[in-house]
Amino acid sequence: MSESFTCIHCKKEVPTGGFIGTHNRNHCPFCLWSRHVDEKAGDRASLCNEEMEPIGLTLKKAGLDKYGKPKQGEVMIIHRCTRCQKINLNRVAGDDDAEEILTVLHSFLPDQERKALLTDGIVVLTSENESIVRTQLFGKSQAKSG
């Protein structure tokens, strides 16, 4: 079992054991930067290995509810590779720095990039969506028992 790795970006020691709410840790909980190791989520098939920057947040597509309205999915972090520009979406982990996630939400993304992501079906959240993000980040932990 591996217990920790050193973050490619902030160089902090990142523990990989314990419960984090997701199966494989693919980004740093402190700075949220990731590393380009996956072509598809979790496959570890990429040879790129460069740093991936958290450029925004989106909601996972959760399909439609029984009334035909879009269901609200979980908050996902949009990572973009600093070398090959590959976009990956990653679930927020249980111990990710919530303030850092809000910083990503409020970070500036040029219209051009926003539109490019939209073309791929990725809707980038804006400051107007902060309440959704906050509910997911803080609501859950308050509801947790024991």
Contact residues for Zn ion (CB under 5 A)?
7, 9-10, 28, 30-31, 36, 48, 50, 81, 83-84, 86
CA distance 10 to 33: 8
Q: Least CB distance from residue 129 to Zn ion, whole Å?
A: 24
Q: Least CB distance from residue 44 to Zn ion, whole Å?
A: 13
Parallel, antiparallel, or unpaired: how do β-strands 87-91 and 70-81 relate?
Answer: antiparallel
Q: Least CB distance from residue 93 to Zn ion, whole Å?
A: 12
The length of the chain in residues reads 146
Residue 86 or 114 having the CB closest to Zn ion: 86
Residue 94 or 129 having the CB closest to Zn ion: 94
Q: Least CB distance from residue 51 to Zn ion, whole Å?
A: 9
Instruction: Give the burial string for 5-28 (b: 16+ CB within 10 Å, else e).
Output: eebbbeeeebeeeeebeeeebbbb
The DSSP H or E segment spanning 60 is strand 51-64
Residue 33 or 59 having the CB closest to Zn ion: 33
Residue 98 or 132 having the CB closest to Zn ion: 98
